[in-house]
Structure 1
Amino acid sequence: MTLTRSLFTGLALLSSALLGIAHANDDSPGLTMMGTTPSVPKNIVIMIGDGMGPAYTSAYRYYKNNPDTEEIEQTVFDRLLVGSASTYPAKISGYVTDSAAAATALATGIKSYNGAVSVDIHKRPITTIMEQAKKRGLATGIAVTSQINHATPAAFLTHNESRRNYDEIAKSLLNTDTDVMLGGGKRYFPAKLIQQFEAKGYQYLSDFSQLETASSPKVIGLFADVQLPWAINERGAHKLSKMTSKALELLSKNQDGFVLLVEGSLIDWAGHNNDIVTAMAEMDEFANAIEVVEQYARQHNDTLMLVTADHNTGGLSIGAEGEYIWKTDIINGVSTSPDVIATRALKYDDWQTKVSDALGFKLSQNEETQLSLARMQGVEVMTTAIKNLIDTRSFTGWTTGGHTGVDVQIFASGPASTLFSGFQDNTDIANKLMSLLPKEAKVVNQVKQSSTIDKRVEVNDIEVNEPVVDTPTLNN
């Protein structure tokens, strides 16, 4: 981001403040005319539905609709919709972003290349909202369904020139002083590294059953080797919702406030797989986590909740094959994820019955023949055949196994939520959020542990990050 863009963003934020969000950088939140609701938040909860483009929230509405009523019921997304955002990365990477570049934009307010973890196009570290919050005395935390060192959480917490450097990123989390880290990723955290976390005062949780009793202000919970299980295969477990609730509980112990990132990571993974039944189950769990935060915010009216997506995945279409139909009864009738159905089909001689029972409908002769041929080629081919069968039956379409460049939606509630109304860029989201952090009492320019320096430009009390030209490059 250039200085000109930073100044423009700062002035835009100031204009918004003058129109109704006054005192955005006061040490103490102001009150609205009603005298009860703070004009700026003490706590900020950022929720990202990874890959959750507009078609996903529309599909979710119909997926959840009660077919026995005439009215199509609203969802939490319909209630909270306030705006939209563009997602393109730095020019060097074109128009279609990956999760790392998108998360970098959302965490720092600066565009970078695909694969970048909060470094600029020259691979120099950029200060994140979590780092700013920490410097100003706030608690910070993440709760995600991917590994905690995956692209999105990594970009909010640390820096690396490549999202693929999972081991490096895992080690770097030790020096972030993040208070709560919940998700998957045991594979990347060997015993020696865990011991280092514990030596720093972290309580380590290795099993999800331990989450409920966690009470330490510093917690690292790794509940899977890589990703958490698909929500559709653990109906009622509500793991993201429970991690969100626990994170809110622990972070609330900081009297100065907190910034929490919650990611429905596996919406994206299901989208990459072109797996509609798994995607809708992940959407349902993410929506449930949003409602957990909503409930918290009702009890703590100084909490801003900002929900968005980093990009769109899969090119999902509601309707396909030229037909004006989308059959949610087919999707709702599937009991487990297609990969589980395929794995079971390879184990049993009477696989046709097992598959039909799991899909919720009787296979036609032609469908049996197609699946039989796929079954002979192994579990991956069988999984793809089952997904294709569900798509055909439900009239679900996909255009890609990757990302697309469409704009994403923004949902918000709480103090200063009106800042996010209308269209904006994803970097604007970050800059607006950072403008709502409390003013820093210490000298602005400080040498950090990473040997990088943040240079800030004050624009009418709105701080804007600018990278220092001679900041050292990260090494692999």
Structure 2
Amino acid sequence: MDFLATCKRSISCLLLIPCLCAPSVMANDEMISPAAVTGSANSNVPTAGPARPKNIIIMIGDGMGPAYTTAYRYYNDNPETEEIEQTVFDRLLVGMSSTYPASVSGYVTDSAASATALATGFKSYNGAISVDVEKRPLTTLMEKAKALGLATGVAVTSQVNHATPAAFLAHNESRSNYIDIAQAYLDTDADVILGGGQQYFPPSLLAQFTGKGYQHLSEFSKLDAVTSPKVLGLFADVQLPWAINDKQGHKLSKMTQKAIDLLSQNQQGFVLLVEGSLIDWAGHSNDIATAMGEMDEFAAAVEVVEQFVRQSKDTLVVITADHNTGGLSVGANDKYEWNPAVLHNVQASPDEIATRAIAEPQWQTVIATLIGFKPSEAEYATLENARMQGNEPLTVALRKLIDERSNTGWTSGGHTAVDVQVFSSGPGARLFGGHQDNIDIANKVFSLLPESTAKP
């Protein structure tokens, strides 16, 4: 491996934050973790509390590029006041991050390569799950934390073995090897695993988890009764329900609180990954109403963590996105306007509206009720043509109609290479100010782990 070339590609040019670019690779059959990073100061970040955190919470809004947090500010705004209210993202903003993968994959990353960078401090190819470009395992943050005696956990709204949580917990040459990744979770000794993905955990695998002392949950309502780790909660076949269809569920924020409660039982501290996974999935679909629902629930989870950080004084939270999805534009079509009020009136996700509209003879009434406005005759004609073709065409037509009424734009059904925002609070938060690369974020987090398991 060309170490100098890797450093040239990987280190962001931060004048006040030097990064020691030491790749994590297999050497003499032992995994080597990234080098620690010393940091700069950001005067906007409070300094109360210890210099080194006891607990570290990483939160990833999958696909949550800058336009998403901007859109959410206006979506969250109270139109009856002159002031545009701050969101939790505005309060915690400290910097920006580039997201590009290893050079073999160009400039636009996927979730696997970006999560690998954030979990290991090392660039890899799109599709890699914490392996380098030569497919050798890289030490992850969770592995290092476990070795130091910390508790570890993940809480996500996708399947628990999706790209982002997988990169923090496992190693695989392909993010698509869901069964192998689920099997690999047995060896992680993670204390809390919460999310979807029942279809990837057959009874034989679940029996192995329970044999290792895990409590297995499949009903979300039973999560409240859990009082101790270890727990494997799989609450959906694949993804959890869209937040817009589950308005009283607050599943991500509840999983986040439960994960904190359980992991806090470890007196030496914990590392927790929380992912708003479905922001990305809505972005891929260019579905602004559903995306804002996911942003709202992710913001609620961030506020749960923000409150814990304020109370505990010994917890660091770092929040970012792995990449930007969809090329969201807050305003479009040469019009100087964006109309979030339209989105507040949408009562269900477009795919759910389409399913109901196809099942009902009075489909026009169903759509008008659930979409929150009465389409024009021309719009109804377009929807009728789409309805005759099936659920997916009608879903797409509804998304486009909502885009037109809200004046929302998109440039892609995939990812873009735009830099993403970084938010932080708690001990060590100053390190994350300014511009950095995603491997810098990982290296800084590694540097804040305890130096040993020895008690002072």
TM over 0.5: yes
Task: Give the counterpart letter for 2:347 in structure 1.
Answer: S
More deviation, 433-442/131-140: 433-442
Task: Give the counterpart letter for 1:329 in structure 2.
Answer: A
Structure 1 residue 70 corresponds to structure 2 residue 82: yes
Q: Report the counterpart of residue 119 of structure 1 in structure 2.
A: 131
Q: Report the counterpart of residue 25 of structure 2 in structure 1.
A: none
Q: Secondary structure at the match of 2:356?
A: helix
Q: Secondary structure at the match of 1:60?
A: helix
Deviation of 1:215 after TM superposition, in Å, equals 1.7
Structure 1 residue 318 corresponds to structure 2 residue 330: yes
1:10 maps to which of 10, 13, 20:
20
Structure 1 residue 37 corresponds to structure 2 residue 49: yes
1:240 maps to which of 224, 239, 252:
252
Q: Secondary structure at the match of 1:47?
A: strand
1:222-261 deviations in Å (ceiling 9; x for gaps) = 0000000000001021000000000000000000000000
1:336-363 deviations in Å (ceiling 9; x for gaps) = 0000110111111111011001111111
Structure 1 residue 50 corresponds to structure 2 residue 62: yes
1:119-168 deviations in Å (ceiling 9; x for gaps) = 00001100000000000000000000000000000000000000000000
Provide the C-alpha distance between the structure 2 equivalents of 1:64 and 1:126, rounded to a whole number of angstroms: 40
Structure 1 residue 262 corresponds to structure 2 residue 285: no
Deviation of 1:52 after TM superposition, in Å, equals 0.1
Whether the 8 Å CA contact 2:42–2:94 is kept in 1: the answer is no
1:349 maps to which of 328, 337, 361:
361
Structure 1 residue 421 corresponds to structure 2 residue 433: yes
1:275-299 deviations in Å (ceiling 9; x for gaps) = 0000000000000000001111122
Whether the 8 Å CA contact 1:240–1:289 is kept in 2: the answer is yes
Map 1:435-450 onto structure 2 (within 5 A).
435-440=447-452
Provide the C-alpha distance between the structure 1 equivalents of 2:449 and 2:422, rounded to a whole number of angstroms: 20
Task: Give the counterpart letter for 2:324 in structure 1.
Answer: N
Q: Report the counterpart of residue 30 of structure 1 in structure 2.
A: none
Q: Report the counterpart of residue 29 of structure 1 in structure 2.
A: none
Whether the 8 Å CA contact 1:203–1:216 is kept in 2: the answer is no
More deviation, 72-81/3-12: 3-12
Q: Report the counterpart of residue 412 of structure 1 in structure 2.
A: 424
Map 1:182-331 onto structure 2 (within 5 A).
182-331=194-343
Q: What RMSD over aligned residues (CA atoms) do the two structures have, in Å?
A: 2.0
Map 1:78-227 onto structure 2 (within 5 A).
78-227=90-239
Runs of 4+ aligned structure 1 residues displaced above 4 Å come to 1-4, 11-15
Q: Report the counterpart of residue 401 of structure 1 in structure 2.
A: 413
Task: Give the counterpart letter for 1:9 in structure 2.
Answer: C
Quickly say closer, same or farther: Cα 1:20–1:338, change in 2 above 3 A. closer
Q: Secondary structure at the match of 2:421?
A: strand
Provide the C-alpha distance between the structure 1 equivalents of 2:248 and 2:72, rounded to a whole number of angstroms: 18
Provide the C-alpha distance between the structure 2 equivalents of 1:88 and 1:9, rounded to a whole number of angstroms: 17
Q: Secondary structure at the match of 1:232?
A: helix
Whether the 8 Å CA contact 1:148–1:184 is kept in 2: the answer is yes
Provide the C-alpha distance between the structure 2 equivalents of 1:334 and 1:20, rounded to a whole number of angstroms: 40
Deviation of 1:413 after TM superposition, in Å, equals 0.3
Provide the C-alpha distance between the structure 1 equivalents of 2:259 and 2:405, rounded to a whole number of angstroms: 40
Structure 1, unpaired ranges of 5+: 22-32, 443-476
Provide the C-alpha distance between the structure 2 equivalents of 1:2 and 1:423, rounded to a whole number of angstroms: 25
Quickly say closer, same or farther: Cα 1:378–1:68, change in 2 above 3 A. same
Provide the C-alpha distance between the structure 1 equivalents of 2:397 and 2:444, rounded to a whole number of angstroms: 45
Q: Report the counterpart of residue 339 of structure 1 in structure 2.
A: 351
Deviation of 1:440 after TM superposition, in Å, equals 3.0
Deviation of 1:373 after TM superposition, in Å, equals 0.5
More deviation, 319-328/53-62: 319-328
Provide the C-alpha distance between the structure 1 equivalents of 2:368 and 2:403, rounded to a whole number of angstroms: 15
Q: Report the counterpart of residue 373 of structure 1 in structure 2.
A: 385
TM-score by length of 1: 0.88
2:397 maps to which of 382, 385, 389:
385
Whether the 8 Å CA contact 2:198–2:235 is kept in 1: the answer is yes
Deviation of 1:2 after TM superposition, in Å, equals 6.2
Q: Report the counterpart of residue 15 of structure 2 in structure 1.
A: none
1:24-51 deviations in Å (ceiling 9; x for gaps) = xxxxxxxxx98x6111100000000000
Whether the 8 Å CA contact 2:42–2:433 is kept in 1: the answer is no
Q: Report the counterpart of residue 445 of structure 1 in structure 2.
A: none
Structure 2, unpaired ranges of 5+: 12-17, 22-34
Task: Give the counterpart letter for 1:397 in structure 2.
Answer: G
Task: Give the counterpart letter for 2:91 in structure 1.
Answer: R
Whether the 8 Å CA contact 1:318–1:396 is kept in 2: the answer is yes
Q: Secondary structure at the match of 2:186?
A: helix
1:188-212 deviations in Å (ceiling 9; x for gaps) = 0011101100110111111001100
Q: Report the counterpart of residue 463 of structure 1 in structure 2.
A: none
Provide the C-alpha distance between the structure 1 equivalents of 2:392 and 2:417, rounded to a whole number of angstroms: 28
Aligned-residue identity in percent: 65
| Count of aligned residue pairs for this structure pair | 430
1:160-190 deviations in Å (ceiling 9; x for gaps) = 0000000000000001111100000000001
Task: Give the counterpart letter for 1:207 in structure 2.
Answer: E
Q: Report the counterpart of residue 30 of structure 2 in structure 1.
A: none
1:91-118 deviations in Å (ceiling 9; x for gaps) = 0000000000000000000000000000
